[in-house]
C-alpha cells in the first residue's frame, strides 16, 4: 500500500517530479486517473493515441515492439515508481511501442495537457525530463548495439551483470525463459544454449528463483566479446 493519498508519494518518487511544490503537485494530482490491469492485459498498443504519462504504483510491465511475423522484441521492463509513455505524452504522436502487464498492476495516468502545462511553467522540471529521456536514448542505443554486434551469449552476460544485485539476479514470477529471450532479441532454443554454455563454463549457477554469478570477471569477458 502506498498510503491514504497514494498518488502524491508516487509523484515524489519519480526523479523529474520529486521537487514539485504543493501547487504544482496538486495540479498534477487533479489531472490523474487510476487504472488497474490484470496479468497479460494490454496497457496500450503501438499506434494508439496517447492517454498521458503512465506512473507505475504496483506491478511490473513490459514495453515491446511486435514484428509482422509475430515475433516480439522487449524494449524494457518497467516496475514500481517508474514511468512509461513519455515520448508520446510529450510529442502528441501515437504510441511508438506497446505495453502489457506482466502481473496485476496499478497505474496512474497524468493527462498530457497537465504535463505540458507543468513543463512550460517550470523550466527546471523540463530540464529534468530532458535528462531522463537522454538516459532512455542511451539505453536504446545500447540495445541496438547489443542486437547488431553481440552474440546472444554476450547479450545474456551483459544483462545478468546489469540486473544482478550482489551477484544475484532474482527472478520475478513472470521471469520465464520466453520473456528473457524476448528481452535479448532471440528465441528460446538459442537462449537455453547460451545459459548452458555459461553454466558449463562455471560463470553462473541456476535455480528456480535466481541466477547466481560465480565468476564476475569471466562473465564480463563474455559480455565484451563481439560477433
Q: Are residues 18 and 105 in the same domain?
A: yes
Q: Are residues 65 and 169 in the same domain?
A: no
Domain end: 126, 147, 168, which one? 147
Q: Are residues 118 and 23 in the same domain?
A: yes
The confidence score (pLDDT) of residue 1 equals 39
Angstrom distance (rounded) from CA 125 to CA 15: 10
**Structural domain for 163, as ranges:** 151-224
Q: Are residues 193 and 123 in the same domain?
A: no
Q: Is residue 57 part of a domain?
A: yes
The confidence score (pLDDT) of residue 227 equals 61
Identify the segments of the chain with pLDDT beneath 70. 1-5, 226-227
The confidence score (pLDDT) of residue 5 equals 63
CB 89, CB 33: distance < 8 Å:
no
CA separation (Å) from 100 to 27, 42, 59, 95?
A: 28, 4, 11, 13
**What is the number of domains present in the chain?**
2
The confidence score (pLDDT) of residue 154 equals 95
Q: Are residues 163 and 92 in the same domain?
A: no
Residue whose C-alpha is closest to residue 149's, from 48, 225, 63: 225
Q: Is residue 68 part of a domain?
A: yes
Q: Is residue 2 part of a domain?
A: no
CA 8 to chain centre: 22
Output the domain CATH number for residue 192. Answer: 1.10.10.10
Q: Are residues 91 and 104 in the same domain?
A: yes
Residues 9-48 as b or e (16 or more Cβ within 10 Å = b): ebbebbebbeebeeebbeebbebbeeeebeeeeebbeeee
Q: Are residues 87 and 137 in the same domain?
A: yes
Q: Are residues 185 and 80 in the same domain?
A: no
Q: Are residues 108 and 139 in the same domain?
A: yes
Angstrom distance (rounded) from CA 24 to CA 189: 50
CB 213, CB 203: distance < 8 Å:
yes
Q: Is residue 1 part of a domain?
A: no
Output the domain CATH number for residue 140. Answer: 2.60.120.10
For residue 97, give the C-alpha cell: 511501442
Q: Are residues 96 and 194 in the same domain?
A: no
pLDDT in tens, 106-159: 999 999 999 999 999 999 999 999 998 898 889 888 888 888 888 999 999 999
Amino acid at each position: 500500500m502506498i498510503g491514504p493519498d497514494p498518488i502524491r508519494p508516487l509523484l515524489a518518487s519519480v526523479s523529474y517530479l520529486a521537487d514539485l511544490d504543493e501547487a504544482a503537485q496538486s495540479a498534477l494530482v487533479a489531472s490523474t486517473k487510476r487504472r488497474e490491469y490484470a496479468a497479460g492485459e494490454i496497457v496500450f498498443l503501438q499506434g494508439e493515441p496517447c492517454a498521458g504519462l503512465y506512473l507505475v504504483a504496483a506491478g511490473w510491465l513490459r514495453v515491446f515492439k511486435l514484428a509482422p511475423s509475430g515475433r516480439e522484441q522487449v524494449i524494457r521492463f518497467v516496475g514500481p515508481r517508474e514511468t512509461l509513455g513519455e515520448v508520446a505524452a510529450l510529442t502528441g504522436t501515437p504510441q511508438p511501442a506497446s505495453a502489457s502487464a506482466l502481473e496485476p498492476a496499478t497505474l496512474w495516468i497524468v493527462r498530457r495537457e497537465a504535463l505540458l502545462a507543468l513543463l512550460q511553467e517550470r523550466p527546471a522540471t523540463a530540464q529534468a525530463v530532458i535528462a531522463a529521456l537522454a538516459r532512455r536514448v542511451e539505453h536504446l542505443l545500447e540495445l541496438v548495439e547489443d542486437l547488431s554486434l553481440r552474440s546472444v551469449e554476450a547479450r545474456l552476460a551483459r544483462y545478468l551483470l546489469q540486473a544482478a544485485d550482489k551477484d544475484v539476479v532474482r527472478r520475478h514470477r513472470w521471469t520465464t525463459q520466453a520473456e528473457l529471450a524476448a528481452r535479448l532479441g532471440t528465441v528460446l532454443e538459442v537462449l537455453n544454449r547460451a545459459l548452458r554454455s555459461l553454466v558449463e563454463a562455471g560463470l553462473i549457477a541456476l535455480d528456480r528463483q535466481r541466477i547466481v554469478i560465480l565468476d564476475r570477471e569471466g562473465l564480463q569477458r563474455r559480455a565484451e566479446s563481439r560477433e
